[in-house]
Chains A and B, each alone.
Chain A
């Protein structure tokens, strides 16, 4: 593995003072991976010639093809300066927004970060994001201003211009840091004020208000980037050079005889060199002099570029080389591309790796110097105060701070992600060069085999019989390739050890994110170790560390043990760790705070296998993907769709590629997810589409128009619709009649029912068990909740027409717990209400005896209602917020009255039936059974007919009211800067979004916009908004509620004004109709659309057509 051996790294790992865990962060294409390449090349792992071109850490194929990094990957580097030797655990991170989750995983494991900024582009959206992330994780950043060559070659700036440009960039970066700092201070202050207010509540003397924002007191000078602080490097990774002020300060202090400290202070800033008095003076700008930085530093570089690249002046180049004491190979000197020569010179003169690495070693903290504040932040989960953790947990803080790798130090490891690698790349399986002995051994084996074969052959020839030994060797041969083919993805945990030493085969506790150390400690006996079995503690499991790896970019090196403070890979955790976890040997450890993700996944697609028989493969593949990707979410919806949620289009592409080629290995197809709708009815409108008052007559006309379409192909004998929406329907055998009316429920009721669906389901369960007379142990708390729900409903249904409605509720639907109500408005039919379980509490045995004359057909009505609410007439989507009130219900009880004149006779039946039923249940049942038997021949059982009749009645009743479609809505929270606010509004408006409110985030220039957006319009929304705002706005979508689409899908102009306004056909777009037809078309239902709008007239064609 290159120049330094594994043993060296092992020894370095033991000295945490010289370990630096750092990551490279930047906006996309600012040169993170190129810079990483330079650092890697410094270690001799790749040739320095290839540095910047190879992109060694981009190991995935699509990363190389696309030229962007898609995952964070780590590599351990060795750096020695003076007499110190350092071990650098470098993590390269992606810059694209879609992969900001990978950045989170990288930042968590580090103590320091290199923030790379493009010298031309300056601070970009992702630069802000990563700075914020580094800030939130308490990671100390250093700055690298990269691509300095672009200032020279592309922008053709003079050295002086470049200097002002660089100053500007530094200012921008510091401004971002400044806002982060102020917002934090303000936040802290707000908290303090809150506490103070709390304290003030108890009357305790005089109060002193502190009006200062606290900004003045807080010291923030150490936060900012400044070259004289030594935390800024100017570099051009592609040309291989980079420097910090220190480097030049050293050179010039020797050459000019000025003290290094002075130079350090003055080299960056408004200073100039007065050549006459040989002194450094202040105020270069006002006096029109060249600042020191330009004169001493930039000019040199500019002249080098000029000589080598622009003018290609050989003599001058040689002169420069001798003055710098650099020798370049003749091959490079003669190369036709001047960049090669430039690279060769610069790489020796100002090697970028050295500049960056020395800054890193000096400025970034080692694991030993971890801030106490950071530890507390890591350990206090879910905004719990650190002080509230149990004492033994608090003690662990010292372990963190000491970072000791002694045997008795508790092992604490954080796994930030799981990544999949091919089994082939594991060190155990990798092919390695054979040493002499092994070659000899193999040769011997082969010789033997050959001899055996010969012997066997001769034997065979002699005896014509199969030879056992020969066969055995033959069969053993083809087995090998089979083993190799069985390659599987192995998951390796990307982790860091904070304390203790982890050994191969060690057993550790896996703490789930909800694990509570206080609870764990109280449950576990004192002094039990990880090897003890623990089942009783929630969110705690135990596993064995099977393998330990040193992460070397694409490769892994196996290690026996790893001491504290290092980044590493752990094998064998895939069964107990999903994405992140905290591993510890001590149950007192609290799980780390969950990762902070800059972007939540919002792009949803439905995934399906190309061949339906490959479904199981897809499911297992998606499971693996879920584990391998920190940000992807995978879910199966009720519709059976497999939905993949990703952070963006590029991320989606990567996930799909992974799924196709690594995890599922099948062809898959991707589509828009199915968008759900709900159907409902509303009160008849008072005004028409042009806001004119609707007269009574016209309103009736509208209803008639709708109704005319209803009966299509049905004899009106069986059904009748009143003008006010009461539907009467008779079963085909004319034995039963139901009258149903549909009433819109108030919105609050719908919301209440929707929210309490779980409770209603529990209620339904209780009722069914009560009906059987089986006593169930009922949770008192649930009963209370039900009673509360009932009261709530009662308070919401106050109007006259809802009088006593809550008591009369017959059922909920669909599926017995939906947001629709079946109401019993039949005059003389009493059945136990749905609230019977409440009464059951009071009078235990009264209800148990089935005193109520429960009709046998009660269930059929409910089933019919359930079916009707499950799929409405508009586009077979579930109903919502509809109340079906059964106003009359007759069942013909005389089974053999074939000549019955139906309706009139029917109305007598309830009494008759009750008479029968009062005799006792069994008699009742038999009569009905007999009746069933009589009608079986033509129409099937009565119960079945009644279900169908009830369903149809509900549908017609629904259609008799003004129908509306309900769309699912997302609430959409968008963070955007002021300059792109207008664009955000534009995108929202285009997609039927509605802005609820916007406000400015305190202490920043960010606006937070809250809007609602129909789910149907959300496909591609995230991408569009990002594109239109050049990534400055990032939306987050969360499902919030159902909203009625105000337009009527069946609307056609009816009144005179509407005719005037819209014309006869109403050509303007009807949103509801558009949605409805899309759903109907998808489901293969009849769509009222002409196949051809205008037919072609007859054309007589010529002879040859």
Chain B
């Protein structure tokens, strides 16, 4: 008789369930909390520290074991430990609190350091520190999306930060050489893409050293290649235009 009354209800407090559907059946294993991610990332190497028990269940909370025939049918083996390993690496799991927290934290940090790496203070041409960016991200209440890459999110953050503080992506310094024939036409097209033109020479060919937003690089590259049919050239002088060295005030 299985009446689910408070008295005979056993709550699984420290169990994380990993599920996998295979061969039309659902299999579950009982693991310790906050451990499955470590196993997957390879930091935890002791299987006994991850699994509560080596047996495979159909339903962990009800304590129903999986039938041996089903296991063999689905996995092709009867070795429970082997199956547990498979389920561990491929099954779907609830991410536990601490795992989620640390994951979000590292992602947040990662985003902040990417932003700090890519951006400068336009006034001083110097980068911001990571901690400052982190604080700014908290100020604009940025929430990390766990399923998007940190790089993507960093670009998103830069856009949002621009509204509250003086920040800008560090410019790339490029040298363009365009044959004289196309130069005039091309210059008009390039103009909106260039941030700063540092030098410009025009004799046999147009040669420019320019600062551009790194986001426009592809566009410029394509433009030069297509328009000049391969006769123009583009050279990256520096990826990041920042002040170097320490400065005393």
Contact = CB atoms under 8 A, between A and B. Distances in A.
Interface of A: 606, 608-613, 615-616, 619, 622-623, 626, 633-641, 671, 674, 709, 815, 859, 863, 866-867, 922, 925-926, 928-930, 932-933, 936, 940-941, 1081-1092, 1094-1101, 1103
Contacts of B131: 608, 671
Contacts of B43: 1088-1090
Contacts of A1084: 105-113, 150
A1092 B35 contact: yes
A1095 B33 contact: yes
Given A636-B246, A1096-B32, 10 more contacts: A612-B128, A612-B135, A616-B166, A622-B249, A634-B249, A635-B248, A640-B132, A928-B230, A1084-B150, A1091-B99
Contacts of B218: 940
B2 interface: no
Given A613-B164, A636-B246, A1101 B126 contact: no
Contacts of B244: 638, 815
Nearest to A870: B239
A1086 B248 contact: no
B38 A1083 contact: no
B76 interface: no
A777 to B, nearest CB: 17
A1038 to B, nearest CB: 14
A674 B150 CA distance: 23
A531 B8 CA distance: 100
Contacts of A1085: 106, 110
A742 B133 CA distance: 35
Nearest to B164: A613
Interface string B1-29: 00000110011111100000000000000
16 contacts: A608-B131, A611-B139, A615-B121, A638-B246, A640-B121, A925-B233, A1082-B109, A1083-B130, A1084-B108, A1084-B109, A1090-B44, A1092-B38, A1095-B14, A1095-B50, A1096-B32, A1101-B13
B34 interface: yes
Kindly name the residue among A609, A638, A941, A1086 whose own CB sees the greatest number of chain B CB atoms within 10 A. A638
Contact of B235 (A613, A635, A859): A859
A867 B238 CA distance: 11
How would you classify the secondary structure of chain B's contact residues: helix, strand, loop or mixed? mixed
A929 B33 contact: no
B166 A613 contact: yes
B38 A1091 contact: yes
B225 A1098 contact: no
B152 interface: no
Contacts of B33: 1092, 1095-1096
A623 B236 CA distance: 36
B13 A1099 contact: yes
B231 interface: yes
B124 interface: yes
B35 A640 contact: no
B188 interface: no
Nearest to B234: A943
Given A641-B129, A1090-B44, A1095-B32, A1100 B231 contact: no
B176 to A, nearest CB: 13
Given A1090-B44, A1092-B34, A1103-B6, A1083 B127 contact: no
Interface residues of B, number: 73
B147 interface: no
B192 interface: no
A923 to B, nearest CB: 10
B132 A608 contact: yes
B92 interface: no
B139 A930 contact: no
A854 to B, nearest CB: 12
A1091 B111 contact: no
A1091 B112 contact: no
A1082 B105 CA distance: 11
Nearest to B39: A1090
Given A1091-B98, A1091-B99, A640 B230 contact: no
B165 A926 contact: no
Contact of B221 (A922, A941, A1089): A941
B235 A1096 contact: no
Interface string B95-129: 00011001001111111110010001101101111
Contacts of B11: 1100-1101
A866 B237 CA distance: 12
Interface of B: 6-7, 10-15, 32-35, 37-38, 41-44, 49-50, 52, 98-99, 102, 105-113, 116, 120-121, 123-124, 126-133, 135-136, 139, 150, 164-166, 218, 221-222, 225, 229-231, 233, 235-236, 238-239, 242-249
A925 B233 CA distance: 9
Contacts of B129: 606, 608, 639-641, 674
A771 to B, nearest CB: 10
Contacts of A1088: 41-43
Contacts of B113: 1083-1084
A180 B99 CA distance: 65
A1084 B110 CA distance: 4
A926 B235 contact: no
Contacts of A623: 249
Contact of A1090 (B38, B107, B243): B38
A984 B127 CA distance: 38
B236 to A, nearest CB: 6
Contacts of B221: 941
Contacts of A1100: 10-11, 13
Given A612-B164, A1091-B38, A639 B127 contact: yes
Contacts of B225: 929, 932-933
Contact of A612 (B108, B139, B229, B242): B139
A1094 B109 CA distance: 26
Nearest to B125: A640
Nearest to A924: B230
B10 to A, nearest CB: 5
Contacts of A622: 249
Given A930-B230, A1091-B37, A638 B245 contact: yes
Kindly name the residue among B123, B131, B230, B238 whose own CB sees the greatest number of chain A CB atoms within 10 A. B230
A678 B99 CA distance: 31
A626 B249 contact: yes
Contacts of B231: 922, 925-926
A221 to B, nearest CB: 47
A696 B128 CA distance: 48
Given A640-B126, A1096-B33, A863 B132 contact: no
> Nearest 4 pairs between A and B by C-beta?
A1084-B109, A929-B230, A1095-B32, A1084-B110
Nearest to B101: A1091
A863 B234 CA distance: 14
B177 to A, nearest CB: 9
Nearest to B233: A925
Contacts of A1095: 14, 32-35, 49-50
A655 B234 CA distance: 50
A926 B230 contact: yes
B30 to A, nearest CB: 8
Contacts of B124: 619, 636
A1088 B42 CA distance: 8
Contacts of B166: 613, 615-616
B14 A1099 contact: yes
Contacts of A671: 131
B105 to A, nearest CB: 8
Contacts of A609: 132
A817 B105 CA distance: 36
A940 B218 CA distance: 9
A1098 B136 contact: no
A815 B130 CA distance: 21
B118 to A, nearest CB: 12
Contact of A1097 (B14, B120, B245): B14
A588 B12 CA distance: 90
Given A932-B225, A1086-B106, A635 B246 contact: yes
